[in-house]
Amino acid sequence: MQEQLQYLINQSSFTRKPTAELAPFRYEELAKALDFHRTIPGYAPTPLFHLPQLAKTLGVGELYLKDESFRFGLKAFKALGGAYAMARHIADFLEMDISELPYEVMISDEIRKKLNGVTFATTTDGNHGRGVAWMARQLKQKAVVYMPKGSSQERLDAILREGAVAEIVDMNYDYAVRMTAEMAEKYGWIVVQDTAWDGYEEIPLWIMQGYGTLMLESLAQLHEVPPTHIFVQAGVGSFAGMVQGMVTAAYGKQAPKVIVAEARIADCLYQSAVSGKADALPVGGDLQTVMAGLACGEANSIGWNLLRDYSAAFFSCPDAVATRGMRILGNPLSGDPHIISGESGAVTTGLLSILMQSPVYQSAKEELGLDENARVLVISTEGDTDPERYRDIVWDGELPSFKQF
């Protein structure tokens, strides 16, 4: 018997009296990040694919997928957040507005001389660290990257190729985050982490705002007609929190329903929602999951508050949900596009397919209003950032796909 999905339809007291701050996620704030990203060489909106045949098979009205495997040649969306946070730090250090520092000015000899060398440090399961290392190289600054135990050698090598100092350490993600913060304080590095905690909230907020470029692009590609449902994956909840904050700020009570998918072994947001408490609860352990990008046991407090107050549902997903999504997208129905989606990128498609096709979850589907009138957006946050692992799963059947029918 396969491990089942665990889920919670969010009807907590927090949804009736929300307190999470929405102002940082209004259009004018997120547009600052988009304007900066547009100045970076190689910037282009990533594709938004229409999947009519899959939508018909699953029984939803429309299905769209935002494919982040095309982002800056890095195969993942994460660079959006790190790059913007690093740029905002530089702008603040120089006491300038970010609008005065497009990319070509930021890399000028004059600005570099004023900075006198900056080292950016972060902890990563792969994609975020590569984005930070990539942007540091663009800015002609330094990067130090630590990865938790169990991280892929291929992902480490990709970070090293960007010129960063990087290594895999013998501790889980959350302990590695603490170590990075301690090392940064000792050596004067700037921590670029999307996990917020008391006293460290400004840079995580900038990272979340940087991710907003993805959603502004998506809505433009949808001709400003919002979907009815958005499926988002969550590690610490920075990306998911941004999506929730952005659509709530933009559409209020008419906002799309945001459905959060986490890895079962690292489901801190789901466990926090179940607890009914205001503050997020941590999940400990080694956090070993095929969804490496979601292997985080402690929530970003900013993201959690937004998800706690406004999200429609939380799903705790076994690894087989992600592998099902990878195989669905990599082997499309006739007429739909072929999409290479990595382990963390495909979990939302896997989850949607299960909800729509398995009678086990009929009540969840009905409570969420997922039917022939639904216009669904899923976001593939990464491509095959670990190509060998991708082939092991999709070609060689390393892990089973979720099936409870």
Residue type, 264: R
Query: Residue 282 half-sphere exposure, CB side, CA atoms within 13 Å?
Result: 11
- Catalytic residue, chosen from 32, 66, 125, 365, is 125
What is d(CA 208, CA 195) in angstroms, rounded to the nearest whole number?
10
78 is catalytic: yes
Distance CA 298, CA 269 (A): 8
Q: Which long-range contacts (CB under 8 A, 24 or more apart) does 220-227 make?
A: 220/45, 221/45, 221/48, 221/66, 222/48, 222/64, 222/377, 225/375, 226/250, 226/251, 226/255, 226/256, 227/62, 227/64, 227/256, 227/375, 227/376, 227/377
List the catalytic residue out of 32, 66, 75, 78. Answer: 78
CA nearest neighbour of 343 among 304, 311, 396, 391: 391
Cα 33 from Cα 84, distance rounded (Å)? 6
User: Can you spell out the DSSP letters for 47-114?
Assistant: PEEE-HHHHHHHT-SEEEEEEGGGGGGTTBTTHHHHHHHHHHHHHHHTT--GGG--HHHHTSHHHHHH
- Return the structure tokens found at 327: 């195989």
Active site residues: 78, 125
